[in-house]
Structure 1
Amino acid sequence: MTNQMQITVFQGTVGDRNDLARPGAMAIGTLMAERLGLAPEIIGAPSAVIGRGWREALEAARPPLNALSDRLNHLFAENIKPFTASSRCAASLATLPVVARYYPDACIVWFDAHADLNTPATSVTGYLGGFSIAGPAGLWDSGLGSGLDLSAVILAGARDIDPPEQKLIDDGKLQWVPTGGGLAEGLRCAINGRAVYVHLDCDVLEPGIVPTEYEVPGGLSLDDLYHACQVIAEHSIIGVEIAEFQISQAENGAPATPAALLDALSPLINGLAR
Structure 2
Amino acid sequence: MWDIYVRILSWFFDYMNARSPFSVHRIALLGKQLGKNIGEWFGPSTTSQVIKALVHNYPESGLGVYVTTDGVVYKDHVEEAATLKKSSGFGHLLILATIRLGTDKLNPIYNDAIKATFEFPQTLGIAGGRPSSSYYFVGYQGDDLFYLDPHHSRCVVESKDLSDYTAEDLSTYHCEAIRKIDINSIDPSMLLAFYCRDRADFDAFCAEVQELNARPGMASSILTVGEKAPDYDDDDDGRLLSVADEEDDDLELIL
Instruction: Report the TM-score, using the length of structure 2 for normalisation.
Output: 0.27
Greater RCO (Cα-Cα under 8 Å, separation 6 or more) = 2
User: If each structure's helix is expressed as a fraction of its own residues, which one has the higher value?
Assistant: 1
User: If each structure's strand is expressed as a fraction of its own residues, which one has the higher value?
Assistant: 2
